[in-house]
Amino acid sequence: MSDKPRLLTVPEEVDRPVTVFPTGNEYVSLPLVGPAAGAVDRPNCLSLAATGLVEFAGAPGEPLLRPRIEVDGKPVALGACTWERLDHWLPRFRATDPRTRVTVEGTVFAPPGHKGFVYLLEAWCMEGKPRSWRVGLDGCWGETLQTIYTSRRVHGARAIRRDRWTGAPVLESRPGVALAALGFASSASPIECRGDGGAEGRELAGEQPLRFGFSVTSPGPRATVAFYAGVNRDGDGARTTAVDLARRGWQRLLADTREWLSRRTTPLSDPALARVLNLNGFFNYFYALGQTIDSEDLVLITSRSPLYYVSAAFWARDALLWSLPGVLLLDPGRARDMLVTAFTRYRRHAGIHSLYLDGSLLYPGFELDELAAYPVALQRYLLATGDRGILQDRGVREGLAHVESRFWEWRHPQVDLFGTMLCPSDDPATYPYLTYDNALAWRALAFLAQVGGEAGLPDEVIQRCRRTAPRVRQAIYEHLVVDGPLGPMFAWSADLQGNREIYDEPPGSLQLLAYYGLCEPADPVYRNTVNWIHSPHNPHHYPGARFAEVGCPHADHPFVMGVFNSLLSGRSDIARDILLNAPLDGGLACESFDRDTGVVKTGQAFATCAGFLAYAIHKAFGGPAGSRRPGAEPTFWEG
């Protein structure tokens, strides 16, 4: 064994998780909606200039935005809110003030294709009599944040001014030149601005919060007012985007958004499981990828929520093995865009642990599963869509050639197995030759041998892949099978010098060997391996717990990845119980959860994990082939 320290980059545990209702579209994310008083905090956009998220944040105890309602001059108190989701993605709350007998309903939505979002507020009194209403939003802009893994303050001026066209405030972050901006408009006029967003506006370079508010009057028994928020790279772009949204009107924008979501909703015979699938599917679609605010380029990341502990960065495994299958369920065209982006923007450092969203190096360290993810994902796409035209894309062809060349840097000198520095958990490998990783390498090389001619690979490369692929599978059975406590089983890893490790971890579980086609599900070596993982012999299995899934040293709790591993390895009954009864992260995928309560322990807002969870739910419970969506083939590696 190596004398180098095996440093584990373990996550901090979530102390007191609060359920929020994230929403958004490809340009803007709203990760912190709710839970009380209709609050919206830390809306963000992706920025190539910032190589991460740019967030508009409130101050401690004060969100960026919250509703303000008055009836006949009396303030309406918004206390506890009841939340629901429209079409599995649009958060809507309802709250009633017993003193004024007023009910308020708020809906937050970000129409796809638009650089902005809408906050719709409706208020009515139980008596139904004509009233004089004032409806608005109060704001507190405490700081601008740049988020890459963690969040840090963007130093420089924060400017707020009243737009002469809309009458509403415009917030612009100016660390030198403008970085990002948020501008508002309303469905009613005139707008009255209060605080720092008044007629003169204000620019502040210090840490003091900028407080602002804007509202409109609305007579009648019921008030319905929409506020439009545009995001862009500067204040002029943000305020004109808000104008465009206002011209379209909230009715049309909401109808178009709901129709867009309806067309991409995945049906299941079990409505409860369908809710879990579709919520996680949309979360993956809008939080694991998006368009940058400054270049409008597509980028692929772990999560657009600051709650995830390594947010706003690229992992090939996350994007291609986990997120892509979920996107394929919703939108095969978008999945194609993801692949082209991966093979162009991110190929330079293929196989490296983590990259910035622009493709430059963030966290060094080689991971074999991340290298293999490129051809494995491309085969996944071809099997689901039949779109062989993607093999003629220049970026894909050049990317495949580069990825193939990198395998041989990590091949053992005498044995047809490939090494790695890091495990799928992103922690250092005890021994370099991992069974799961080499199963992916086998799958990747076999695919390259199959499509190399169409993809323009040289004949000698095709022949090398064709010779090596079956040898890798043979070497796995020869060098990576051990006598376990339940019989012959796959080892986790080996050094090919006599040392082998019995172990498993959910991010790259041996349970997926049959899913990736290395063996048949009935293979006794595979069955012994799966049984060992779910037995007392595995120190990271939790028998007797309410939610007894599998963990690992990276986080010694049951993993949501364990749930999708169970779904894809024939243990769907156990997984179904967790999906229907464990709260997780407000219904969203997280990294790990408490074994007794089912509440998130690590890795909140894990968007790419949500994608593979949605896919696995559909694969396990999707019903007959006729009910499947285009991106969900009945058998993954059939043929």
Q: Assess whether pLDDT exceeds 70 at residue 92.
A: yes
Residue 184 phi, psi (nearest 5): -125, 160
Q: How confident is the model at residue 632 (pLDDT cuts 50, 70, 90)?
A: very low
Contact 548, 562 (CB under 8 A): no
Residue 189's pLDDT is 83
Q: What is the pLDDT of residues 526-558, one digit of tens each?
A: 999 999 999 999 999 998 999 999 999 999 999
Residue linked to tokens 């010694």: 556
When mean pLDDT is compared across 192-201, 470-479, 524-533, 606-615, the lowest value belongs to 192-201
CA torsion 429→430→436→440, rounded to 10°?
Answer: 40
Pick the CATH number of 23-263 from 2.70.98, 1.10.3470, 2.60.40, 3.30.2010: 2.70.98
Quote the CA–CA distance of 82 and 162 in Å, as a whole number: 33
Q: What is the pLDDT of residues 174-206, one digit of tens each?
A: 999 889 999 999 998 889 998 887 766 788 888
- Which residues contact residue 158 at a Cβ distance below 8 angstroms, ignoring those fewer than 6 apart? 141, 143, 144, 171, 172, 173, 174, 203, 204, 205, 210
Closest to 287 in 3D by CA, of 142, 110, 423:
110
Q: What are the distances in angstroms from CA 348 to CA 91, 343, 401, 445? A: 39, 9, 11, 19
Look up residue 146 and give its amino acid.
Q
Q: What is the pLDDT of residues 306-321, one digit of tens each?
A: 999 999 999 999 999 9
Cα 392 versus chain centre, distance:
29
Maximum C-alpha span of the chain: 86
Mean pLDDT over 11-22 rounds to 93
Residue 206's pLDDT is 81
Mean pLDDT over 469-490 rounds to 98
Quote the CA–CA distance of 337 and 352 in Å, as a whole number: 21
Contact 156, 164 (CB under 8 A): no
Say whether 303 sits in a helix, a strand or coil: coil
Mean pLDDT over 151-178 rounds to 94
Look up residue 235 and give its amino acid.
G
Residue 5's pLDDT is 55
Token reading at 52? 């991460």
Q: Assess whether pLDDT exceeds 60 at residue 416.
A: yes
Residue 190's pLDDT is 87
> Would you identify the CATH topology of the domain 271-623?
Glycosyltransferase (1.50.10)
Q: What size, in residues, is the chain?
A: 639
Say whether 547 sits in a helix, a strand or coil: coil
Q: How confident is the model at residue 634 (pLDDT cuts 50, 70, 90)?
A: very low
Q: What is the pLDDT of residues 96-140, one digit of tens each?
A: 999 999 999 999 999 999 999 999 999 999 887 877 999 999 999
Taking residue 637's Cβ as centre, other Cβ atoms within 10 Å add up to 16
Residue 129's pLDDT is 81
When mean pLDDT is compared across 78-82, 277-281, 520-524, the lowest value belongs to 78-82
Residue 1's pLDDT is 42
- Which residues contact residue 296 at a Cβ distance below 8 angstroms, ignoring those fewer than 6 apart? none
Q: What is the mean pLDDT of the chain?
A: 94
Closest to 322 in 3D by CA, of 60, 512, 91, 75:
512
Contact 567, 514 (CB under 8 A): no
- Which residues contact residue 196 at a Cβ distance below 8 angstroms, ignoring those fewer than 6 apart? 160, 202, 204, 210, 211, 212
Q: Assess whether pLDDT exceeds 90 at residue 7.
A: no
Mean pLDDT over 25-30 rounds to 98
Closest to 197 in 3D by CA, of 230, 233, 164, 237:
164
Angle between helix 332-345 and 394-407 (nearest 10): 60
Helix and strand numbers, DSSP H then E, in the chain: 14, 33
Question: H helices within 288-428, ranges in order?
Answer: 316, 324-330, 332-345, 368-385, 394-407
- Strand 82-86 and strand 90-97: the pairing is antiparallel
Quote the CA–CA distance of 143 and 102 in Å, as a whole number: 33
Cα 622 versus chain centre, distance:
22
Extents of the domains making up the chain: 23-263, 271-623
Q: Assess whether pLDDT exceeds 90 at residue 8.
A: no
Q: What are the distances in angstroms from CA 574 to CA 89, 120, 215, 403? A: 26, 40, 51, 37
Higher pLDDT, 203 or 568: 568
Say whether 424 sits in a helix, a strand or coil: coil
Contact 507, 424 (CB under 8 A): yes
Q: How confident is the model at residue 6 (pLDDT cuts 50, 70, 90)?
A: low
Q: Looking at the DSSP assignment, which residues form a beta bridge with residue 352?
A: 366
Contact 568, 325 (CB under 8 A): no
When mean pLDDT is compared across 6-10, 365-369, 525-529, 619-623, the lowest value belongs to 6-10
Mean pLDDT over 329-334 rounds to 98
